[in-house]
């Protein structure tokens, strides 16, 4: 598992080079955004249960066929599995936000996920929709916590979205 700093060190070490201007710039930007990243993680941690619940409600409101007979989230067990998955996405997004690097998502979340979903018939596109709902809710709360530029919050949610959907084609 890597973060912004360890991945940079790894790249420069492989090349046997000192940090150059690019490296210094990216380190600066990582540390400058550090407080906002930690604040965003705190917002997520403090509201995780409600965020998952609300994002789930919104998803099922917009795509009610998911929880009707024949839908993948139909039955209490599968409904709960779906919300648990949303909770995973949120928790790992908070790790990736703090790390400033998406490696944790590759290693802990995305590896083999699409295959698992395909074999269980879990539909990718509503899952991705759920991830995007989570993103918007987190961004709104992070903004409400006084962080002016919330664009960095997009990254882990968009990364999971891209990785899950792109290979599905
Ligand atoms: C930490 C990393 C991690 C992830 C991401 C993860 C996902 C994950 N979701 C699963 C199932 C599932 N995932 C869903 C999710 C959904 N169904 C829908 O219709 C919605 C679109 C969606 C919710 C947004 C459902 C319903 C199941 C159960 C499917 C079944 O057993 O038939 C399974 C199969 C095993 C199980 O049921 O626990 C895995 C491994 N597990 C992990 O360890």
Tens digits of per-residue pLDDT, 98-119? 999 999 999 999 999 999 999 9
Q: How far is the CA of 23 from the centre of ligand 1 (A)?
A: 38
Q: Which atom of ligand 1 is nearest to the CA of 89?
A: 5
Q: How far is the CA of 82 from the centre of ligand 1 (A)?
A: 6
Burial of residue 85 (CB within 10 Å: 0-12, 13-18, 19+) is: buried
Distance CA 97, CA 73 (A): 28
- For 130-159, the pLDDT digits (tens) are 999 999 999 999 999 999 999 999 999 999
Residue with tokens 């890597």: 2
Q: Which atom of ligand 1 is nearest to the CA of 126?
A: 21
Distance CA 4, CA 38 (A): 14
- Write down the pTM of the prediction: 0.96
């Amino acid at each position: 598992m890597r973060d912004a700093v360890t991945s940079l060190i790894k790249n420069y070490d492989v090349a046997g080079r000192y940090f150059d201007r690019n490296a210094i710039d990216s380190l600066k930007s990582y540390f400058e955004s550090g407080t906002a990243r930690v604040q965003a993680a705190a917002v997520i941690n403090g509201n995780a249960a409600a965020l998952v619940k609300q994002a789930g409600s919104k998803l099922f409101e917009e795509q009610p066929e998911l929880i009707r007979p024949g839908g993948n989230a139909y039955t209490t067990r599968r409904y709960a599995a779906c919300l648990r998955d949303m909770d995973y996405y949120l928790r790992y997004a908070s790790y990736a936000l703090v790390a400033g690097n998406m490696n944790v998502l590759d290693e802990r979340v995305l590896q083999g996920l699409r295959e698992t979903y395909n074999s269980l018939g879990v539909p990718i596109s509503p899952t991705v929709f759920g991830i995007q709902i989570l993103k918007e809710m987190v961004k709104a709360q992070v903004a409400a916590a006084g962080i002016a530029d919330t664009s960095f919050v997009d990254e882990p949610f968009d990364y999971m979205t891209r990785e899950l959907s792109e290979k599905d084609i």
